[in-house]
Amino acid sequence: MGEGVEERIFVRPRKHFRRTYSTREVGVGGLLLLALGLVAGWIAWRGAHPDPELSSAVPLEHRAPASADRGPLPAGLAPAGWREQRVAVYDPTNVYEKIDGREGYYKSFGFQRLHALTLVASAGEPTVDLELYDLGSPQNALGAAAGEIPASASPRLNDGTLSLVDRNTLYLARGKYYLRAIGSAESPPVREVLDALSARFSTALPAAALPFSYDLFVPLGVAPGKVSYLAENAFSFGFASGVHLGQLPDGDTELFAVVARTAADARALAARFTRAFAEYGKPVSAPGGVSWAEDRYLARISGASAAGRLVLGVHSAVDVQTARALHEKLTARAASIPDSALVTAAAPPRQEE
Cα-Cα-Cα-Cα dihedral of 260, 265, 269, 271, to 10°? Answer: 140
For the chain, strand residue ranges (E) read: 82-84, 88-90, 113-121, 127-134, 156-158, 161-166, 169-174, 177-183, 227-230, 243-247, 254-259, 281-284, 292-295, 301-307, 310-317
> Nearest CA to 270 among 198, 330, 217?
330
Residue 272 one-letter amino acid: R
Size of the site for another protein (CB under 8 A): 45
Q: How far is Cα 236 from Cα 241, in angstroms, rounded to an integer?
A: 10
Smaller CB distance to another protein: residue 1 or 75? 1
Q: How far is Cα 331 from Cα 107, in angstroms, rounded to an integer?
A: 32
Judged by DSSP in three states, 333 sits in: helix
Note whether 195 binds another protein by CB under 8 A: no
Q: How far is Cα 44 from Cα 301, in angstroms, rounded to an integer?
A: 67
Smaller CB distance to another protein: residue 186 or 328? 186
Note whether 279 binds another protein by CB under 8 A: no
**In the complex, least distance from residue 158 CB atom to another protein, rounded to whole angstroms:** 21
Q: Which of 185, 264, 268, 325 binds another protein (CB under 8 A)?
A: 185
Note whether 191 binds another protein by CB under 8 A: no
Smaller CB distance to another protein: residue 55 or 336? 55
Q: Where in 64-123 is the site for another protein (CB under 8 A)? A: 64, 96-105
Smaller CB distance to another protein: residue 69 or 186? 186
Q: Which of 74, 83, 122, 186 binds another protein (CB under 8 A)?
A: 186
Note whether 236 binds another protein by CB under 8 A: no
- Given the rule CB under 8 A, which residues bind another protein? 1, 5, 7, 9-10, 47-50, 52-57, 59-60, 63-64, 96-105, 127, 129, 148, 150, 152-153, 166-169, 180, 182, 184-186, 353
